[in-house]
Each structure stands twice: as structure tokens, then as C-alpha cells.
Amino acid sequence: MSLIKQLHKYLSTLKVEDGKKISLSDFDTDYDHKMISKKEGTKLLKNGIKQLAELQDVLYADNRYSVLIILQAMDAAGKDGAIKHVMTGFNPQGVKVTSYKKPSSNELEHDYFWRHYKALPGRGEIGIFNRSHYENVLVTRVHPEYIMNENIPGIDSVNDIDDKFWEKRYEQINCFENNLYENGTHILKFFLHVSKKEQKKRFLERIDNPEKNWKFSAADAAERKFWDKYQEAYSMMLGATSKEHAPWYVLPADDKWFTRICIGAVIFFELNKLNLSYPKVSEENMKKLLKAKDELLKE
């Protein structure tokens, strides 16, 4: 079996089935290192980046679909690095990366999708969400007191935020993404699954390396204390919102180079399913092109 076929088969095991309840503990944060070496992986990613660039060009010319890539993870799982390394071959004119932090006071005056609507890619474009609307069923589930900042009718205290509230949010998110899909947006969602041990290692590297100090804050260490609650919140969210038209992939993230290969491969395989093509010029326009060519040659 070729390496590409092996990778395709392996990635299918990381895709969360529609409607299946899962536990993150069932997914590896590391892979067995038998399928591909780092040297082979580096070469594969380099070639893959070129192919992704070609697909992006056709996507833009085809002008029927847009692509939304969503990255979610615990802190230090490698989202920024994945964007930098996997998307490096894309034409910046057709790509927009949006990183989401704590919502502003203005954003809280609107529904929680509002700030995400504004950043959605247009036809022929690729949008990348570094964190996303899923924060509204993750960090808010670990810290339900944050919901009170949204001033939602009928939610007068934290006690009003029950299981039905979260089920409704999952339903809202599924409807939001289904609407996008039915209007031409291809959605790919990646959870970078890093281990607690590896996160600790990366946190210490950020503290010890002056060039990485800026990437670490006391808040990162504080949130680590809620590790188990986040794992539970992610498990419930992934099971409730992975759909055939908007699947979640749980990628092992302890080896950054392998995570990047997985992301690039999924994007490549999924874009190929769209049967993208360059638009054909009409007979009338072709006559105009040939006439323009003739005039240029006569200059």
C-alpha cells in the first residue's frame, strides 16, 4: 500500500462519526511512528504544499465554493505553527486568518455568531479560524459564569445554564454550519489533541526561551488546572457537532510535524472531492481573445 493510501486510511480513523458520542481518551495524542518518518514527512509536506497552492488557484478561478478551516485545541497544541507551515504556499490574496480572543463589549451586544459571520470567506476564498464559535460551548462550559455577559433572555443566573442550554447551542451551531454548507462553504474542522505532559513541556519552553516568552501568560497556567473539565467539554462538543458535511478530525498533536501533515492531507483530499475546474471561455469571448491576440502581435 502506498504512503498516500496509508495516510488516507489512517485519517479516516481520526474522523468523528456523525452522531457518535466520544471520549478524547479514546484518541491518541501521539501516533505509533511506524507509518512515516519525520524525514519522509517533511518531504511529503513540502510536495503537498505545492499541490495545495495549485488547488487554491483552481478554487479561486472556479468561484463556486469557499473553504472554512477551523482549528481548536488546548493551549500550546500548535495551531499557530500549523497555519504557518501548512498554509505557507497559499496566495495571501485568497486567504484570511482570523484569531479569536475574549469577545469585546461590542461583540457581546450581538449574538455569538456575529463576529464569525463577518470573517467568513467569500466564493473562491479560504478562511481559517484560529479558535472559533466553538469557544461558546467550550470555555463557557468550563466557566458558565461567562455566559452571563451575553445578557440572554431567560438566563438570569448560572443556575439557568443546564444541559438543555448546551444541547440547544450544539443545535444552533449545527444549523449555522449546515446553512453555510448548503450555500457553498466547505467546512473542515480540526481538533489538535495534545497530551497534558506535552503541554507542560511546551509551556516550560515558552518560559525558558526569551523569544517565546510573549506566547505565555499566567492565564495559560491557570486554565491548565481545568484540564479534565476541558477534556469533557471537548468530548461532548465533538460528538454533538461532527457532521458528514462538517466533520471533526481529532489529530494527534504531540509531534507537530505529523499534525501538520495530517491537516494538509485532509485539506488536499477534501478539496479534490469538489471536482474543481477552471471555467471554460465561451465561444464569443474566445473570438475576442483571439482578436486581442492578433492586435497585440501586430504592434
- pLDDT per residue of the chain (299 residues) written in tens, 0 to 9: 578 888 999 999 999 999 899 999 999 999 877 788 888 888 999 999 999 999 999 999 999 999 999 999 999 999 999 999 999 889 999 999 999 999 999 999 999 999 999 999 999 999 999 999 999 999 999 999 999 999 999 999 999 999 999 999 999 999 999 999 999 999 999 999 999 999 999 999 999 988 888 888 888 889 999 999 999 999 999 999 999 999 999 999 999 999 999 999 999 999 999 999 998 888 888 888 898 998 899 88
Is residue 246 classed as helix, strand or coil in its secondary structure? strand
Which secondary structure element, helix H or strand E, spans residue 188, and what is its range? strand 185-193
Query: 259: how many CB neighbours lie within 10 A of its CB?
Result: 26
Task: Output the CA–CA distances (angstroms, integers) from residue 190 to 127, 128, 169, in the order listed.
Answer: 14, 11, 19
pLDDT of residue 289: 87
Give SS3 for 156.
coil
CA distance 127 to 97: 6
pLDDT at residue 34 in the model: 73
Q: What pLDDT score was predicted for residue 41? A: 87
Give me the sheet containing 185-193, strands edge to edge: 95-99, 126-130, 66-73, 185-193, 248-252
Predicted confidence at residue 68, as pLDDT, reads 98
Q: Please tell me the predicted confidence (pLDDT) of residue 17.
A: 95
Task: Copy the grid coordinates of residue 12.
Answer: 479516516
Query: φ, ψ for residue 255 (rounded to 5)?
Result: -110, 105
If you search the block for the grid coordinates 461590542, which residue do you land on?
A: 106
69, β-bridge pairs: 128, 188
Closest CA to 133 of 105, 114, 109, 152: 114
Does the pTM surpass 0.85? The reply is: yes
Question: Which alpha helices (DSSP H) does 26-159 contain, by range?
Answer: 38-62, 79-86, 114-117, 139-142
